[in-house]
Structures are given as structure tokens and as C-alpha cells.
A = this chain, B = another copy of it.
Amino acid sequence: MTSLLQNFQKTRAYSVELCSPLEIEDYIPQPVDFASPPKWHLSHSTWFFEEMILKKFVEDYQIFNPHFSFLFNSYYHAVGERAIRTERGTITRPTVSEVYQYRIYVDSHIEKLLKDDVSEELKELIILGINHEQQHQELLITDLKHTLSYNPINPVYKEKFNLTAQKNEEEGWLKISENIYEIGFEGEGFHFDNEEGRHKVFLHDFEISKSLVTNADFLEFIEDGGYENFKYWLDEGWNWVNENQIEAPLYWQKIEGNWYSYTLEGLKQIEPEDILTHISFYEAQAFANWKGCRLPTEFEWEAASNQLKWGKRWEWTYSAYLPYPKFKIAEGAVGEYNGKFMINTMVLRGASTATPKGHERNTYRNFFHPKYRWQITGIRLAK
């Protein structure tokens, strides 16, 4: 079980590393419903191991603190009452220090478990826990960026840590021919339930861009009045733009005629050749319309993925997040994982600079409501 243990330890250590530049104060706030504080991510990913594994596989396991089950549960309705999602930022106790003790306690028990031979069921749950924690690592850093961005003094998280300065390595269009393609996960490794049910999809001829849209491309859209012309927008997107007075990607601000963006290194001037990021599905779709192109479907993306460079940005597709044929929700709390969000969310494919190494897959189905922008999201065009 060495490699599983190592993988577990490496993952757990990476969460701590991500938090190493933080002050205690930074662990607390939750300015918006859709993001959570670092303290909560650290606790919740630990709670998952305690709740789903230690309580079931360790005889006479003493839970660290009964309050934690209540406080750090997330959506899992099947596992007792949960603290209100929108009030995570009010929970000052347990302290950050106690949360780290909780991590250490749970780690030591998991490590003990992994010293012996482990059943296939346990192994799978550990791997699920690792992947779960990796998902929360990505959220931890993007949520943190969002929280820090509220501070008018533009705090620096770390000197060399810019998630958004990335450039394209290829240009041009890739042609894919009409055919039946197999979509979904197949094989041995880890994957989420929503990728299962490998199935056939018929795709017509299409072309997909080898590069992602850049800041320079998007500035053209802005300067051409893209945000002011309803004809590029979905009706719901147009309402979103107007109600929220959206005039640029998230974190952008114009200062004395120049565009800047808040980054984890502080406020930085926009680099035109960098890949565009922090845009909503609405903006992605309006940009594609303006350009006379469209967004790819998730099936087109997956069929083309082996011939593309990807992994720097989550790429919005024009596919709603829906169950694959034969999708079955697992029994119990683990079954709440993904299926219940299959409505009014759009699929993003690829991975981003915030995605932990080894967590990416070309069958991975990320999903968010079309209005969200705080993830590292970008645009790849199709036609």
C-alpha cells in the first residue's frame, strides 16, 4: 500500500502547503455563498476521511470532536444535520490551530490503516478522499483569491504565484471528421461517477481551435461594444450583464485608462497575449457569437482532446451538465456526490493552473452555473 499511502500523504501535505502563506485572519471570511473559507476546506476534507472511512473501518474509533461532524459536513444530507452553508464565515471556533490538530489526528489514523493490507472497498474510499481533497484544494485557492479580492488594498498571497499568466503554445484549427465516438471513462484509474457509462455519440464534422482566446482577443470584443449589444447575448446573460453592470472579466479594473487585474501576486497590468480567464459562460458564449463561431460541446471536446494542448484553463462547453446514459446514483452519502447538480449547470472540460497535479483527465466533467467566474475559466472556440 506504499504508493497509496504516499499519495495520501502528498495530498494532505499539499493542502497545508497551500495555506502556508496565510495569516490566521485569512482562514476565516466567507464573503459569498458560493465560496468557503480555507479553514472550512481544511476541516471538511479531513471530515470526509473521518466520516466515510475511520468511523466505518476502525474499531472503537474515537471521533476527534463530535461538533466537527456537524460543522464541517457540506451537502451530505444523509449524514446528520449540517451547519448552514452561508454561515461558514461566522464560525471562529474551533480555531485554526485546532483544525490542524484535527488533520494530524485523522492523518495518523488513516496512516495506521494503510500500514496493513486494505480491502478494495477501503482503497477506493481513500482514493475518493484524496480526489475529494484535491477538488477542495482547487476551490481553496480560487475561493481565497476571491475573498482577498474584496480588500481594497489588494493583498499579496505570495510573491511567485500567478494562476493566470499563461500563453498559448499552438495556433490554428483542428478538423475532426464525422463519426461515432466513444465518450466517458474507461479503464482502471480513479474517476468520478459522472464520467461513467462510456457510450457512443455521433458527431458531425467540426473544427476546434488549437489555442484559447487571449486577453487581446477579448479586449477587441470589449472595445467593439460587446458588453452593450444584446444581439450577442443569451437573454439570461443579457439580464446578468445589466443587473450586475458587468463591463469586464472578473477582477479586472480600469485605472487611468489601463486595464489591471487582481492576482494572488497583487494587482497586475493585463498582458494582452496571456490567455483570458475569469469569465462566465454567458461571456464565453457572447464572445463566440461576436466572433462568428461557437463553443464546442463536451463531446466534441473529448473527441478532440488527444490532439489538443489543454490544462491551463477550464474551458466552457455548450453542453449542459446531464447524466450519461446508464448513469446511476450510488447508494448512501457518497451517492450525493455529483448527480444532484445535474440541472442548470454547464460543463467545463480540461483543467486549470489551480488543479492539483495528477487530478486532471480528459473525461473529467467540471460544472458550474453559467454565471460563475471565480474559477480559472477560459474559452476555446469551435465552428
Contact = CB atoms under 8 A, between A and B. Distances in A.
Q: How many identical subunits does the complex contain?
A: 4
A90 B23 contact: no
A201 interface: yes
A92 B23 contact: yes
Contacts of A231: 77-78, 336
A254 interface: no
A83 interface: yes
Q: Chain A: interface secondary structure?
A: mixed
Interface string A142-166: 0000011011110100000000000
A334 to B, nearest CB: 12
A236 interface: yes
Contacts of A201: 202
Contact of A29 (B83, B89, B148, B236): B89
B237 A343 contact: yes
Interface string A308-337: 000000000011101101100100000010
Interface stretch (A67-75, A102-110, A270-278): A67-75
A378 interface: no
A172 B281 CA distance: 41
Size bin of chain A's contact surface:
35 or more
A114 B326 CA distance: 53
Given A234-B343, A318-B322, A319-B322, A92 B204 contact: no
Nearest to A156: B93
Contacts of A31: 87, 89-90
B26 A92 contact: yes
Which of A28, A77, A95, A342 counts the most B-chain CB atoms under 10 A from its CB? A28
A379 B177 CA distance: 37
Nearest to A300: B325
Contact of A150 (B91, B151, B200, B370): B91
A340 interface: yes
Which of A92, A202, A235, A285 counts the most B-chain CB atoms under 10 A from its CB? A92
Interface in A110-152: 147-148, 150-152
A304 interface: no
25 contacts: A23-B95, A25-B25, A25-B27, A25-B39, A25-B96, A29-B29, A29-B90, A31-B90, A90-B147, A91-B150, A91-B151, A93-B155, A200-B204, A201-B202, A202-B202, A204-B326, A231-B336, A234-B341, A234-B343, A281-B343, A282-B343, A294-B323, A320-B320, A343-B346, A344-B344
Q: State the 4 A-B residue pairs at the shortest beta-carbon distance, nearest first.
A: A320-B320, A25-B92, A90-B150, A202-B202
